[in-house]
Amino acid sequence: MVSVGDDAPDFTAPLADGSVESFALSESLDDAPLVLAFFPAAFTGTCTTEVCTFRDRMANFENVGATVYGISIDTPFALNEFRDQNDLNFDLISDTNREIIDLYDVSMDFSDLGIRDIAKRAVFVVDGEGTITYAWVSDDPGVEPDYAEVAEAAEAATPVEATSE
C-alpha cells in the first residue's frame, strides 16, 4: 500500500472538469498540495455526502493553495453529470481502467453484490515534490474521512513561501 513518505504513483487519466480533458499527476504538481480523494461510486449516498462536504469546505483547501480531485471508476461523462448535479467546485478523475486504484492499492470488492474492483474510500495528500504526506484508507465504504485532518495535512504540505503570501 502507498504510505506517507512514498513517491506518489504517477498516472494519466481522463479528467471530468465540465468537459473531458487528460490529467497527469506529474504534470499537476505545480498545483500542489494535491488532495486525491478516492470514492467508490458516483450517485451513491456516502459518496455524494463526501464530495459535497469537500465542496462545502473548499475554502479550507483554497486558503492553503491545495487542489482537490475526486477519483472513482465511473466514466468521465457520468462524473461530469455527478459534478453538475452536486454543484462541485473541484474536478473528478475517471479511473475506468482501474489503473489508479491498483497503483494506490485501494481496490475492493463487494462480493455479496457481485461488484469487483471499485475504489475504497481513501485520501492521499501529495506535496509539490510528488511525495505522499498524508494517507487515509478505509475498508468500510460507509466511513468518511476526517475532513479537518485532511485540511490540516494539506496545509502542512504547503510550501512555507506559499503560506506567507
- Grid cell digits, residue 15: 479528467
Q: What is the pLDDT of residues 31-70, one digit of tens each?
A: 989 999 999 999 988 999 999 999 999 999 999 999 999 9
Prediction pTM value:
0.93
* Structural domain count of the chain: 1
**CATH number of the domain bearing residue 53:** 3.40.30.10
Q: Is residue 3 part of a domain?
A: no
- Residue 35: name the closest of 17, 6, 5, 60 by CA: 60
Whether the predicted pLDDT of 7 surpasses 60: yes
Q: Is residue 15 part of a domain?
A: no
Whether the predicted pLDDT of 13 surpasses 60: yes
Q: Is residue 10 part of a domain?
A: no
More confident residue, 151 or 165: 151
Whether the predicted pLDDT of 114 surpasses 80: no
In this prediction, residue 21 carries a pLDDT of 93
Q: Is residue 154 part of a domain?
A: yes
Q: What is the pLDDT of residues 83-102, one digit of tens each?
A: 999 999 999 999 999 999 99
**Confidence band, pLDDT 50/70/90 cuts, at residue 164:** very low
Whether the predicted pLDDT of 15 surpasses 70: yes
How far does Cα 138 stand from its chain's mean position?
Answer: 14
C-alpha to C-alpha distance for 8 and 127, rounded to whole angstroms: 9
Range of the domain at 39: 28-159
Q: Is residue 6 part of a domain?
A: no
Q: What is the pLDDT of residues 133-158, one digit of tens each?
A: 999 999 988 999 999 999 999 999 98
Q: Is residue 132 part of a domain?
A: yes
**Confidence band, pLDDT 50/70/90 cuts, at residue 161:** low
Q: Is residue 56 part of a domain?
A: yes
In this prediction, residue 1 carries a pLDDT of 80
Q: Is residue 115 part of a domain?
A: yes
C-alpha to C-alpha distance for 92 and 107, rounded to whole angstroms: 18
- Residue 56: name the closest of 64, 45, 44, 68 by CA: 68
C-alpha to C-alpha distance for 109 and 118, rounded to whole angstroms: 6
